Amino acid sequence: MRRFFDGPIVLSGAIASGDAVLAAQAAGADLAYIGTRFLATPEASVPERYKEEILRAAAADIVYTDLFSGVHGNYLKHSVVAAGFDPLNLPKSDPNKMNFGTAGGAEKKVWRDIWSAGQGVGQIDAVVPVAQVVAKLEAEYAAARRRLQMN
């Protein structure tokens, strides 16, 4: 991307540790963007069951499909099953349709009933306040720098 873009580059996806933030920088990104990690915090206004699923899930529990909204996204397998779908045998979506309301023609609504999460879920094992998540990211980042003898 640097060959054709000299503005800020943000890298995201499965970043859930300070080590990974440093790796993003090493790969040439200016910023690391973290989504899923912040779902497992008291501040996140998602249902408690959603947070529990985040703690339980591993990368293999993430389903990548365009069925629910018309654009591809990652979802927690258990919420897909709970909505009445077989994650191994999802119907094909209509590529001309984007629908952020009902999910794949079901009564369920995407994001309210079918829950997004990225493959980094396996690294998340506790619901802790955002300030603690950030402090841990910072400590891990500093430790990774020390390990690589960067000062």
Ligand X SMILES: Cc1cc2nc3c(=O)[nH]c(=O)nc-3n(C[C@H](O)[C@H](O)[C@H](O)COP(=O)(O)O)c2cc1C
Residues that bind ligand X (CB under 6 A): 12-15, 33-37, 39, 116-118, 120
CB of 135 to ligand X, least distance (A): 18
- Cβ closest to ligand X, residue 29 vs residue 39: 39
Tokens of 30: 């200016």
CB of 109 to ligand X, least distance (A): 13
- Cβ closest to ligand X, residue 72 vs residue 146: 72
Look-up of token digits 């389903």:
63
Q: Is 9 left (phi over 0), alpha (psi -120 to 50) or beta?
A: beta
- Cβ closest to ligand X, residue 64 vs residue 132: 64
Tokens of 21: 């933030």
- Cβ closest to ligand X, residue 85 vs residue 115: 115
Look-up of token digits 């963007």:
33
- Please give the DSSP secondary-structure letter assigned to residue 104: T
CB of 105 to ligand X, least distance (A): 19
Q: Hey, which bits of the chain come out as E strands?
A: 10-12, 31-33, 62-65, 73-76
Tokens of 63: 């389903």
CB of 2 to ligand X, least distance (A): 20
